[in-house]
Amino acid sequence: MKGLRRCAAVLLCMALCLAGAWSATMDARVNAVPKSLMDKVFVEPEETLPSVVANLTNGVSGTASRVKVLHDWICNNIAYDTVIFTDKWQEAQDQSYATVLKKKKAVCAGYTNLMCKMCRLAGIEAVGIEGWSKGFAYRGNVDGPTNHAWNAINMGGGRWQLVDVTWDAGFCDWGYFVKHYSTEWLYRTPREFLYSHLPEEDEYQYYKPLVTKEQFVKEPYVPGIFFEKGFSIVKDKSPLYTNVISESCKYEISCTNSNMMLRTQYHPKDNYKNGMSDCLKYVTWIERNGSRVIVDTDVPDKELYRISIIGRDPAMPKRSVFYSVSEMETDFLPVAEKLLAEKKITERELLLFKESFFKAEEQGRYYFLEDLFATERNRAVEKVFKLMDNPADYYDTLLYFDIKASEEYEGFGTDTFRFPILYDPFIQSRRTTKIISPQGGAVKRGEEVHFAVDSKEYRAFAVYLTDGNVKLFEKNAKTGMFELDFTVPDDMEYLEVMGSLDGRVLNGLWEYRVNSVSDHVL
């Protein structure tokens, strides 16, 4: 096994792809280490680390519990060394556990070395692994030198499980490290890890049959949270990492978590910020049938596109870990000041809210300063957001893959809306509510359209009119579907369909783009 000093490439996934949200529970023992030990371990690590490990693990039974508290302590105390984003990257070359503790910073090799050392001090067998990962620097091949490092832990009985402390500590957003604890990469099985991590040496796969380099490159990137949330890959039906299509196509994954609300994000792979026109937001469609999740997709032209399947569990709400400067300074901070003036919060709560975010000018963002043990501050932040009526509705990235047209296929066209624009209430009820017609994303002015919806949950549906009134659907006694024949007015740009769960209050569910008669409509 080679040393891990040369692993200096940043492999934390960038915020625009996989940023986490406020989540997970850190072991309370992390915050209970005596201050005298904490002060000393970052100055004299060789002498002090054994005492820190003993303090963390004494009285903790079971390998899994002891490893978690060590994992949590590292995540809470070691930041990613973003010096590698500058021309001073060689300063990060020494990744010994002692140097990492003295600097309180590391790259993947340093996190891995420290985890190995602390496990061994706790009497746990652990190894460091070098290999390739599908992180930020991944370009669809493993032809070059290894670019990442992680750990394997001997759980006993010949069973090994894998841990990536680097990715659980946080993420880098264009050179800024965002502390964000998770357990996404703690105790993933060997096969789950092999969708995103490929060891250089086959023995560290801990899996048979071995996954070859060719297979690793071919398979999609699948993060740990995909498995945490009850998803699984469907052999021969799930997407590859890069998919070449000659017509619209469908991919399938499996999900046993009925709570998950699923969406897709779709953008040109190399132009995330500037390349998303309106029509590209509605290129894909997700259909759920029991545990089956079917993704219908296509490409508008010859560009290479990236599709991300994102999900939110309403039973476990999360907040974003960053907000734009304009959002914070135009919306949140003025509203927080108003809440103080209205005596809905105290001056202390307002101060705690403001101190909880760091403004990064270069990134154009305010980042939440994570401290899982700052109970008073975290409660104040949550109180302010709730009074603002700001929902905790963060979507996690569950899987992504690339897609492009074959040589003979030109795509469906860039001016076409393939599917309707969906609102969260519909996404949450899509297991029980199906749009029968029209299924395309646009209707035409002056055209008579037949609407049909099948729903076991909603009691009424209506089209919202420009004068503020609504046109109600009628329930077909034979089919049980809600139906409406409606002529699209000439003054509409979008046509919104609303639904009511109680038969009284209507809420928006989805909408269609309204085109002129000459426009192409699917």
pLDDT confidence of residue 92: 64
Spatial separation of the C-alpha atoms in residues 115 and 168, rounded to whole Å: 12
Pairing of strands 507-515, 442-444: parallel
Whether omega before 209 lies within 30 degrees of 0, making that bond cis, reads yes
Both structure tokens of 248: 């619209």
Q: What are the tens digits of pLDDT across the range 238-285?
A: 999 999 999 999 999 999 998 899 999 888 887 654 444 555 667 899
Whether omega before 438 lies within 30 degrees of 0, making that bond cis, reads yes
pLDDT confidence of residue 88: 63
Pairing of strands 197-199, 170-173: unpaired
> Please, what is the Cα angle at 78 between 72 and 81, to 5 degrees?
140
Could you give phi then psi for residue 91, rounded to 5 degrees?
-65, -20
For residue 292, is pLDDT > 70? yes
- pLDDT (mean) for 451-467: 95
pLDDT confidence of residue 205: 97
CB contact burial 93-112 (16+ within 10 A = b; e otherwise): eebbbebbbebebbbbbbbb
pLDDT confidence of residue 112: 98
Q: Would you say 513 and 417 are in contact if contact means Cβ atoms under 8 Å apart? A: yes
Across 174-178, 421-425, 464-468, least confident range = 174-178
pLDDT band at 413 (very low <50, low <70, confident <90, very high): confident
pLDDT confidence of residue 416: 81
Q: What are the tens digits of pLDDT across the range 73-90?
A: 999 999 999 887 666 666
| Nearest alpha-carbon partner for 188 in 218, 219, 150, 135 | 150
pLDDT confidence of residue 143: 86
Query: Residue 129's beta-bridge partner residues?
Result: 150
Pairwise pLDDT comparison (137 vs 206), residue with the higher score? 206
Q: What are the tens digits of pLDDT across the range 134-192?
A: 987 788 889 889 999 999 999 988 899 999 999 999 998 877 899 999 999 998 899 99
pLDDT confidence of residue 85: 64
| Nearest alpha-carbon partner for 518 in 417, 447, 444, 449 | 444
For residue 115, is pLDDT > 90? yes
Pairwise pLDDT comparison (517 vs 344), residue with the higher score? 344
Spatial separation of the C-alpha atoms in residues 55 and 34, rounded to whole Å: 9
| Nearest alpha-carbon partner for 168 in 154, 184, 152 | 184
pLDDT confidence of residue 515: 86
pLDDT confidence of residue 398: 95
pLDDT confidence of residue 158: 87
Q: What DSSP assignment string belongs to 306-368? A: EEEEEEE-TTS-B-BSEEEHHIIIIIIHHHHHHHHHTTSS-HHHHHHHHHTEEEETTTTEEEE
Tell me 455's DSSP state: E
For residue 63, is pLDDT > 90? yes
For residue 417, is pLDDT > 90? no
pLDDT confidence of residue 521: 46
Pairwise pLDDT comparison (94 vs 517), residue with the higher score? 94
Q: In Å, how far are 148, 187, 223, 233, 290 from 256, measured between CA atoms? A: 32, 20, 17, 12, 8
pLDDT confidence of residue 12: 36
pLDDT confidence of residue 119: 98
For residue 109, is pLDDT > 60? yes
Long-range contacts of 354-358 (CB under 8 A, 24+ apart): 356/380, 356/381, 357/323, 357/328
Within 10 Å of residue 28's Cβ, how many Cβ atoms? Answer: 11
| Surface-to-core class of residue 122, CB atoms within 10 Å of its CB (0-12 exposed, 13-18 middle, 19+ buried) | buried
Across 5-19, 143-157, 394-408, 432-446, least confident range = 5-19
Average pLDDT, the chain: 89
Both structure tokens of 492: 């509409």
pLDDT band at 10 (very low <50, low <70, confident <90, very high): very low
pLDDT confidence of residue 258: 86
Q: What are the tens digits of pLDDT across the range 304-347?
A: 999 999 999 988 889 999 999 999 999 999 999 999 999 999 99
- pLDDT (mean) for 53-82: 96
**Greatest Cα pair distance in the chain:** 81
Check the CA dihedral 253-256-262-265 and report its sign: negative
pLDDT confidence of residue 20: 38
Spatial CB neighbours of 345, under 8 Å, sequence gap ≥ 6: 336, 339, 353, 380, 383, 384, 387
Spatial separation of the C-alpha atoms in residues 462 and 474, rounded to whole Å: 9
- pLDDT (mean) for 370-383: 96
pLDDT confidence of residue 91: 64
pLDDT confidence of residue 3: 44
